[in-house]
Chains A and B, each alone.
Chain A
């Protein structure tokens, strides 16, 4: 079965500092990978998705970027964090395309101070 690892679980960063969140997937190859952000009391917002190594699509213009250096590794980054970047970040994967279940990691709680 598929397992998605995210780290760190929680992170407190000052405004203007860089960010790197990592996601790795086990139990599948060539998955579709996603970064979502969840705001309190609201639905999930898709930030980025990737269908393969080096292939990144951005859904919303913002202060963040994503990279996929390996088949099962997905990284969310920022050069300078803003207060508005605070939130719960979730990595997700479609193992066999979008008509298969979407699976999530345990998320990273980011607080920008």
Chain B
């Protein structure tokens, strides 16, 4: 059974710092991995999607990597800003209609 874990559960950093969020999954047989951002009381916003054949994806200050063999993904945020404060979730698609989500990392960037 696929399980997705995100560590740490919460993180507080000063503005301007570069940071890494971690995501691990137990079964390497995935189709893709997706990173989301969720603001309080809102839905999920898709940030990056990495196909199983890819190693990384970049969008602006965000870079996501995928190491399928070790069951890990990282989301790198460069030059963090207070507006980056949110919960970040990773999710793996195991084929078909099942997407398994982690519980998220709650990020707070202090001004």
Contact = CB atoms under 8 A, between A and B. Distances in A.
Interface in B65-111: 89, 91, 93, 95-104
A42 B43 contact: no
A87 interface: no
Most-contacted residue by chain B among A42, A43, A105 (CB, 10 A): A43
A55 B103 CA distance: 29
A107 B34 contact: no
Contacts of B41: 107, 109
Interface in B18-45: 31-32, 34, 36, 41-45
Interface in A88-113: 90, 92, 98-107, 109
Contacts of B64: none
A57 B101 contact: no
Contact of B43 (A32, A49, A98, A106): A106
A101 B95 CA distance: 13
B34 A102 contact: yes
B58 interface: no
Interface of A: 4, 6, 32, 34, 41-44, 46, 49, 51, 57, 90, 92, 98-107, 109
Given A32-B97, A90-B43, A99-B31, 13 more contacts: A34-B97, A43-B4, A43-B104, A44-B91, A44-B101, A46-B99, A57-B97, A98-B93, A102-B46, A104-B36, A104-B45, A104-B46, A107-B41
